[in-house]
Amino acid sequence: MSTAQRLSLATLPAVPAASRPPVDPRALRPRIVHLGIGAFHRAHQALATQTAEAAHGGAWGIAGVTQRSRAVVDALRPQDGLYSFTERRPEGPATQVVGAVTEVLHAADDGARLRELLASADVTVVTLTVTEKGYRRDPSGGGLALEDPLIRADLAGAAAPATVVGQLAAGLRARLRASGAPLSVVSCDNMAANGAVLRRLVRDFVAASAWDERDRLLDWLTGSVAFPATVVDRIVPATTDADRETAARALGVADEGAVTGEPFTQWVLQDIFAADRPRWEEAGARFVADVAPYQSAKLRLLNGAHSLIAYRGLAEGCETVADVLATPWGEAAVRAYCAEAAQSLPPAEGLDLAGYIDSLVVRFANPAMHHRIRQIAMDGSLKIPERWLAPLRELRAAGRDTPELVSALAAWARVTRDHALDDPEAEALRRAWDARPARDALRRLLGLLGADDLADDTSLVTSVAEELRSGALPR
Ligand code: CS2
């Protein structure tokens, strides 16, 4: 079989019919701008957009923007935006081409086109998956980090803003000038209250700018731009060469943009859109008044358990999530952690937490996933506050014991001490261990998580230090 040819509009007719997109990619136009066109977006929102389009039409195409890496541009531009998604079913992979992406932009190189699209009244939705660190929040978890050098440069009027918030604010300003057409800006990142957070960051940026129309822009944002909160869920491991080979075998052409993911997918959105949008409900998305119960359950159970698996697994020499689940302690550790974290979740209608936890164990154990724990361990300093510290604070305030969260923190602390981490705070985390005794190092670590309150909680710090000293193996 020759796969020298790349997937593209020209080679699409050669792809087996069952794997071709259910829509004609040529009939779409950019009506959505997506910031952060990584694997997750391609395996989740882009796929849902295509399903919605196939069922309901609307010509919903996506202009996908990559922030720094040119790899996505190099992968997708020669392929006319086409790529494949391979669902990793335990019984074997299933590959389908997605044709929802109509153009790929690089934020720095294509700044003018990005602004033009954000100003266009034909674009009514902006979605984002830029990871926690893309938001540039103040380390204490509040508003925009106004001291961040890139935010400062963007505020000083960089021609192509380097930060996501700078790009959005500049685009919204251009939109108000062009038409003032309403718009929905949809954060799809793993943060509690992601809509409200993003709204605040954009407003902080505008308020700190020297723009003449600053006040008018803030008024218009209030009345015409919605920032719905969302919960997104699908486990999407980083694509490997083996995945690209699987895709090429299924397609008969090479696909440099291939992505893969688990069968499960979920999208819950706050029903406050300001303008036209794809009928994502056709793809199973749920529109609800309040996403908060879903968000906390997902962040604290799935993502929290993921981080636990990552740090305990690293310390134990495991490679993948499924490896951890296959150890004698893996499933029990996940269940014990989830049982504790679930105590921080209020009962919510339609949310069966016990069933959710059972399904997590099955999803994590899927041997077809090869989900590397190093991928999850990345950027822990930004993930842990959302996943562990929020439930930890609430449970402690309610007078509850938190042995599992304490032991999770000890596992993370051990990894910051013994392993090199991919984290914006990696250097500071390592240097925290210059302090002795361990309790002082732990206080510093908690400070780096923006949790000075917990760093001052002597009983918590002592418990984590004891867990660390005992070197207790996972329960
Ligand atoms: C993971 C998430 O890498 C991580 O931090 O916990 O990417 C997780 O796989 C997704 O949120 C699942 O929806």
Mind listing the pLDDT tens digit of every residue in the chain (475 residues)? 445 799 999 999 999 999 999 999 999 999 999 999 999 999 999 999 999 999 999 999 999 999 988 999 999 999 999 999 999 988 899 999 999 999 999 999 999 999 999 999 999 999 999 999 999 999 776 899 999 999 999 999 988 999 999 999 999 999 999 999 999 999 999 999 999 999 999 999 999 999 999 999 999 999 999 999 999 999 999 999 999 999 999 999 999 999 999 999 999 999 999 999 999 999 999 999 999 999 999 999 999 999 999 999 999 999 999 999 999 999 999 999 999 999 999 887 788 999 999 999 999 999 899 999 999 999 999 999 999 999 999 999 999 999 999 999 999 999 999 999 999 999 999 999 999 999 999 999 999 999 999 999 999 999 999 999 987 655 4
Pocket of ligand 1 (CB under 6 A): 190, 233-235, 302-303, 306, 375-376, 383
From atom 10 of ligand 1, which residue's Cα is the shortest distance away? Answer: 235
In a domain, 4, yes or no: no
Ligand 1 centre distance from Cα of residue 382 (Å): 13
Atom of ligand 1 nearest to the CA of 232: 13
Query: Do both 311 and 452 map to the same domain?
Result: yes
Regarding whether 159 and 173 lie in a shared domain, the answer is yes
Closest residue by Cα to atom 11, ligand 1, is: 233
Interface predicted TM-score (ipTM): 0.99
Which of 288, 303, 335 is the last residue in one of the domains? 288
Report the pLDDT value the prediction gives residue 141, as an integer from 0 to 100: 67
Ligand 1 centroid, distance to 303 Cα (angstroms):
6
pLDDT for the residue 431: 97
Looking at the structure, tell me whether residues 278 and 324 fall in a common domain.
no
Domain match, 28 and 158 both: yes
**Which is the closest atom of ligand 1 to the Cα of 234?**
13
Residues 335, 203 share a domain: no
In a domain, 1, yes or no: no
Q: What's the gap in Å between 261 CA and the centre of ligand 1?
A: 11
Ligand 1 center to residue 234 CA distance, Å?
A: 8
Instruction: Give me ligand 1 centre to Cα 189, in Å.
Output: 10
Same domain, 19 and 47: yes
Index of the ligand 1 atom closest to the CA of residue 233: 13
Q: Which atom of ligand 1 is nearest to the CA of 371?
A: 9
CA 397/CA 254 separation, integer angstroms: 55
What is the number of the ligand 1 atom nearest to the C-alpha of 387?
6
Inter-residue contact 76 to 47 (CB < 8 Å): no
Task: Examine the domain organization and report whether 321 and 240 are in the same domain.
Answer: no
pLDDT for 1 equals 45
In which domain, by residue range, is 374 found? 292-470
Ligand 1 centroid to Cα of residue 376, in Å, is 7
Q: Which of 47, 191, 299, 306 to mutate to test the pocket of ligand 1 (most atoms within 8 A of CB)?
A: 306
Looking up residue 330, the CATH number of its domain turns out to be 1.10.1040.10
CA 297 – ligand 1 centroid, Å: 13
Structural domain ending residue among the three candidates 269, 288, 307: 288
Quote the ligand 1 centre to 272 CA distance (angstroms). Answer: 25
Q: How many domains does the chain have?
A: 2
In a domain, 6, yes or no: no
Question: What's the CA-to-centroid distance between 302 and ligand 1, angstroms?
Answer: 8
- Best mutation site among 320, 372, 376 for ligand 1 pocket (most ligand atoms within 8 Å of CB): 376
Q: Which of 133, 194, 233, 235 to mutate to test the pocket of ligand 1 (most atoms within 8 A of CB)?
A: 235
Last residue of a domain, one of 253, 273, 288: 288
Q: What is residue 139's predicted lDDT score, i.e. its pLDDT? A: 78
Asked whether residue 322 falls in the same domain as residue 383, the answer is yes
- Calculate how far, in angstroms, residue 266's C-alpha sits from the geometric centre of ligand 1: 13
Q: Are residues 224 and 266 in the same domain?
A: yes
Tell me: do 138 and 186 sit in the same domain.
yes
Residue nearest to atom 6 of ligand 1 (CA): 303
Is position 211 within any domain? yes
CATH of the domain at 139: 3.40.50.720
Mutate to test the pocket of ligand 1, among 262, 265, 303, 379 (most ligand atoms within 8 A of CB): 303
Co-location of 279 and 341 in the same domain: no
Q: Which atom of ligand 1 is nearest to the CA of 379?
A: 5
Nearest CA to ligand 1 atom 5: 376
How far is ligand 1, taken at its centre, from the CA of residue 308, in Å?
12
220 falls within a domain: yes
Q: How far, in Å, from the CA of 306 to the mean position of ligand 1?
A: 7
